[in-house]
Chains A and B, each alone.
Chain A
Amino acid sequence: MDITRRRLLVLLPAATVAWKYVLAGTPEASPNYHLTEHWWGMLIDIPKCIGCGSCVRACSEENDVPEGYFRTWIERYHVADWKIERPEVESPNGGKQGFPPNQDASGKNFFVPKLCNHCTDSPCTQVCPVGATFVTPDGVVLVDKSYCLGCRYCVQACPYGCRFINPTTNTAEKCSLCYHRITKGLTTACCEVCPTGARQLADLKNPKDPIHEFLRTHTVQVLKPHMATGAKVFYNGMDGSVR
């Protein structure tokens, strides 16, 4: 077949489309992992958190989080006596290097680790115009980097401030609940390194998971329950001043 200019013009776009599929390849699947058998969440035990920053450092390393941005971070609350509606909250560099001694050690002081709440009815996925962010069938909110336009709707929509735009890729980024780890039977990087067990990965569909016993016997809250997001990060022993 002679390659005429006409034939070349017809073939080029077709070859481009075909090549795109070749490049995409077949993603490596986790053979023993079934999407419908899990429903992931996390338990955070505030009275156990020592604000060491191990989770923040581990998250950065595991997920190549750009410097100055955080998929998880720690806040230190200072509640002076009765001023429960006006807590002083600080998070120097996300708590990555821990916290300096308190300026004011009076009143109530405690740490609150924060991360994506992996909401069942997540506001961020509802506003995405292109379907680049979604709740997986196993309950994890993920971002499809190759589909994200970087329009920032989701960053604004998240009531917990858990999203940011990656300055190099210009796409939305957030906690993936270490999806590449939990699908292999490992726990998340933050839960792996937490020295006091203040963070624990929970599979709500697994009847043997200790989370069920814990939820039954403890006073547990989620952040901003009035937003009805269906948040799946449960906080034990959380003070009313936490926002």
Chain B
Amino acid sequence: MEDLIDRIKAAGCDVDGSMDRFLDDKNFYITCFKEVLKDPAFEQLGQAISAKQVKEAFDAAHTLKGIILNLGITPLYEIIVNIVEPLRAGSFENTDVYYQKLLDKRDSLKKLFE
């Protein structure tokens, strides 16, 4: 458990900052962390960007931003904000590029649990 927490910290996540909202329950944190990485919002975001559906894309990105923040997954947060803001303005500018980066970073975080 501690080893896993260290790896997540080393990946750049704000584990300590998040532990307060998880009431220091590390097991619960890990569970939620894994679920975030599997959240269907990632795929929904990709589909919406491909289909150029602004609202759907924004909703999915906004959802992801929220849960990423709650878990303190800073590496993903730094990417997602570059998708959320253009979509909020109704633009798909560079969203496909950042989306791919998001997926790559997610996949690398998934490997922490292997």
Instruction: Verify that A and B bind, or say they do not.
Output: no
Chain B interfacial positions (CB closer than 8 Å to A): none
Chain A interfacial positions (CB closer than 8 Å to B): none
